[in-house]
Amino acid sequence: MLTPLGWGTAAASALLYAAGWWLGYPEPAIFGAAGLVAVAGAALWTLPRAKLGVRREIAPKKVERGEPAVGVLHVTNQGRGARGLSAHDTAGAADVAVDVPRLRAGGTRTVTYRLPTDRRGELPVGPLRMVRADPLRLARRTREYGRPERLLVRPRTVPLSLLPSGRAHHLEGPTSDRSPAGTATFHALREYVIGDELRHIHWKSSARTGTLMVRQLVDASLPTTTVVLEARPASWPEPDDFELAVDAAASVAVGAATANFPVRILTGNGQLAETRGGPDDVEALLDRLTSVAPQEGPQSTIDAVRRVRAGGSLVVVTSGAAELGRIASVRGRFDRVVVLRVRPSEPASAPPGVHLLDVADLDGLAESWRRLGSVR
């Protein structure tokens, strides 16, 4: 297609040719004809399609915000020649110039370039756009090659320990008649029913009572860490403050998940993620927090908290003091309540039974969290 310069040249050349022909002056007509020929030649120059094979890699595919990531392109010339081409790759909203050297027929080159990771989110990378332009820049044609890939730029985190719950629990976790059946913790003896495993029969009690008795084993549930992220846009006039809030929420969630404890993450739109404690929980939590953005929800963060099961620790990540009173109203449902205020504009005092931490950066969060862990 013609560039703006090409369209201007074509229009001016047509006017010169028409004026020269109409007025009977051959010089303007010759210049006009030359310009039109140049434009037509430029359009023909860009017609050939380069036959390229492009294979893309991203290393690594998941990074924390600000960490380095690179795109790797393996470009193979499957035609006779690939000259006069410039390459550009798309990385989210950014346009990245890629230096692809001249390729001989059948040749392959590997090109590496850095990807932007300063913004959290799912970053589409590709396809590679090859631009062929004529020497006069009158025409340009863009074609796409290669399959796009995705780079996950996840929240930054700092190591945080699991907070003590503040209440005494069974050494193997709380047990009750409503605990899920399992194989880990002894809860009680009960009468044998068809289908029970014979290895669970308690022979001494069976002999004493004259009735087959079996051990009832349950899975002991560990205290859940509930992380509530304030996501209403009005609470975050500065985008960088919300990014720090997401980083803080991710750090708390990852700290609990690393200790193999269950984690639940909420916003005003409801539950964002929930894990039961396992080796893959950290990856799942960070992936879910990658795409979270400020958004109006149908309920406040505290209303969302009231809908979840009580117990464990509650960590609320917010920006101001407006919710402190409402947070105190749910204090009795949790063993420990912590409020992280991200770059607050005014001081505030914590309600009874609520720990208040002001967070200016992740390093400050790590230090304040360490001191909080020593408070019982």
CB–CB of 328/353 below 8 Å? yes
Which DSSP helix (H) or strand (E) runs through 43? helix 26-45
Whether the model clears a pTM of 0.95, i.e. scores above it, the answer is no
Can you give the pLDDT at residue 69? 93
Return the SS3 of 27.
helix
Q: Report angle CA 88, 291, 112 to the nearest 5 degrees.
A: 30
pLDDT tens by residue, 143-176: 888 888 999 999 999 999 887 654 444 444 444 3
Residues of the chain above pLDDT 90, percent? 22
Average pLDDT estimate for 274-298: 87
Residues 71-101 pLDDT 10s: 998 888 887 655 667 788 888 877 888 877 7
Please enumerate in sequence order all residues whose Cβ is within 8 A of that of 128, keeping only pairs 6 or more positions apart, or say none.
54, 56, 73, 75, 87, 88, 89, 98, 144, 145, 146
Question: Right CATH number for 225-373 from 3.90.1150.10, 1.10.287.70, 3.40.50.410, 3.40.50.300?
Answer: 3.40.50.410
Residue range 52-154, CATH number: 2.60.40.10
Residues 353-373 pLDDT 10s: 888 899 999 999 999 998 887
**In the predicted model, what is the mean pLDDT of the chain?**
83
Does 218 have pLDDT greater than 60? Answer: no
